[in-house]
Amino acid sequence: LFAGECEFIFGAQKLGQLPPQTLPEIAFAGRSNVGKSSLVNALTGRRTLARASSEPGRTRQLNFFNLANRLMLVDMPGYGYARVARSVKEDWQDMMFDYLRGRPVLRRVVVLLDARIELKAHDKEVMELLDRAAVSFQVVLTKCDDVAPTKLARKQAEVEAEIRTHPAAYPHLSLTSSQTGLGIEALRADLAEFAQP
Ligand code: GDP
């Protein structure tokens, strides 16, 4: 699945522009700079698939990537960038909530958290949004290569405790690094479960 073709098909700035629901979808969400583009690139083995964003908070659209006509990966706009005004944050939440609620083909949201930094209020709010939308989500720690083992273990315990408070969360926490490849194959296997035969 992931070794095959992966084609960027669409960038939607408004919900009215979403592509037809022909394939099961997996969406990726996370704070700006969390390593989302890098992770999607690592998963699909492409370097240029999702443009690694040098300017945090810039991508304000939903980008759709067709994986071999079996699965759609959806890159959600990064959230939580400090320079973004409150009204823009609310717009993000409203648009994402509408997307989450109105997309029966959406099978799972992958929520990315940077292993190096504190769990932020905004991350918890997004998980609550997913609970309210009743969309199954799975949490992935990114940049695990850049954290000392004891600190990583503490982080893992903290995030696992948070996950247990969310009814829509998949219980397993994935530890990943796009740089070393840690956890990438396992995450591919998790997501391949949702692909069309
Ligand atoms: P996005 O804004 O969430 O799409 O994040 P990017 O993929 O553009 O990555 C943001 C920054 O984090 C870049 O400077 C990347 O080089 C860095 N980064 C991404 N993944 C990793 C990783 O696995 N390990 C380390 N150490 N840095 C990473």
Distance CA 35, CA 110 (A): 12
Give the least confident one: 15-19, 88-92, 134-138. Answer: 88-92
Q: What angle do CA 41, 44, 46 make, to 5 degrees?
A: 55
Q: What pLDDT digit, counting tens, does each position of 89-101 carry?
A: 677 778 888 899 9
Q: Ligand 1, from 28, 36, 38, 53: best to mutate by most atoms within 8 Å of Cβ?
A: 38
Which atom of ligand 1 lies nearest, measured to the CA of 112? Answer: 3
The confidence score (pLDDT) of residue 52 equals 41
**What is the residue-wise DSSP string for 31-99?**
BTTSSHHHHHHHHHT-SSSSPPPSSTT---SEEEEEETTTEEEEEPPPB--TTS-HHHHHHHHHHHHHH
Please tell me the predicted confidence (pLDDT) of residue 94.
80
Q: Return d(Cα 32, Cα 9) in angstroms, integer.
A: 22
3-state class percentages of the chain: helix first, strand second, coil last, to nearest 5: 35, 20, 45
Q: Which residue segment(s) compose the domain that 85 sits in?
A: 6-192
Judge whether 74 lies within some domain.
yes
The per-residue pLDDT for 22 is: 94
Question: In CATH, what number is assigned to the domain containing residue 47?
Answer: 3.40.50.300
Q: Does residue 157 form part of some domain?
A: yes
In ligand 1, which atom is closest to the CA atom of 40? 7
Closest ligand 1 atom to Cα of 54: 8
What is the pLDDT averaged over residues 23-34?
Answer: 94
In this prediction, does ipTM exceed 0.95? yes
pLDDT-based confidence at residue 5 (cuts at 50, 70, 90): confident
Q: Do the domain assignments include residue 1?
A: no
The top-scoring range by mean pLDDT among 69-78, 98-107, 169-178 is 169-178
What is the pLDDT at residue 97? 86
Ligand 1 centre to CA of 101 (Å) is 29
Tell me what pLDDT residue 57 has: 44
CA 20/CA 22 separation, integer angstroms: 6
Q: What's the pLDDT at 55?
A: 45
| Pocket-forming residues, ligand 1, beta carbon under 6 Å | 30, 32-38, 52-53, 56, 78, 142-143, 145-146, 177-179
- What is the average pLDDT value for the chain, to the nearest integer? 88
In this predicted structure, what is the pLDDT of residue 43? 92
The Cα 45–Cα 65 span in angstroms is 13
* Cα angle for residues 146, 152, 122 (degrees, 5° grid): 90
Question: Looking at the domain assignment, is residue 197 inside a domain?
Answer: no
Domain count along the chain = 1
Structure confidence at residue 159 as a pLDDT band (50, 70, 90)? very high
At residue 54, the pLDDT reads 42
Give 47-91 pLDDT, tens digit per residue.
Answer: 655 554 444 444 578 889 899 999 999 999 888 765 566 666 677
Per-residue pLDDT, averaged over 135-143, amounts to 98
Residue 118: inside a domain: yes
Q: How many angstroms does the Cα of residue 41 sit away from the middle of ligand 1? A: 11
Residue 102 within any structural domain of the chain:
yes
How close are the terminal C-alpha atoms of the chain, in Å? Answer: 10
Query: pLDDT tens for residues 110-120?
Result: 999 999 999 99
